[in-house]
Amino acid sequence: MDVPLSELGVAQAQALASWFRRGPRPDIVFSSPYRRAHDTAAVALDGADLDVAIVADERLREREFGILAA
């Protein structure tokens, strides 16, 4: 489940950076502990030239259901 950010994800994070440049500028960003979530925040913050902490919060983790048998 811990996969890298896709090209579409990078484009979406860059769009978020554009929004941050025009509007609300966060003081802190909370992210799930997954790599793609952290990378999304990092791309968005970097693109908006914001030096903001990214805090991984386990409560934002996706549910991992495991293998289901029929």
Q: Does residue 40 sit within a domain?
A: yes
Q: Does residue 54 sit within a domain?
A: yes
pLDDT score of 30: 97
pLDDT score of 10: 97
pLDDT score of 67: 64
pLDDT score of 70: 59
Residue 56 phi, psi dihedral angles, 5° rounding: -75, 130
Q: Quickly list DSSP for 17-65.
A: HHHHHHS---SEEEE-SSHHHHHHHHHHHHHTT---EEEE-GGGPPP--
Structural domains of the chain, count: 1
Q: How far apart are CA 26 and CA 52, in angstroms?
A: 7
Residue spans of the chain under pLDDT 50: none
Q: pTM for the complete prediction?
A: 0.84
CB 55: neighbour CB atoms within 10 A?
12
pLDDT score of 6: 95
Domain that holds residue 41: 7-60
Q: Does residue 66 sit within a domain?
A: no
Q: Does residue 20 sit within a domain?
A: yes
Q: Does residue 70 sit within a domain?
A: no
Query: What is the CA 22 to chain-centroid distance, rounded?
Result: 19
Q: Does residue 42 sit within a domain?
A: yes
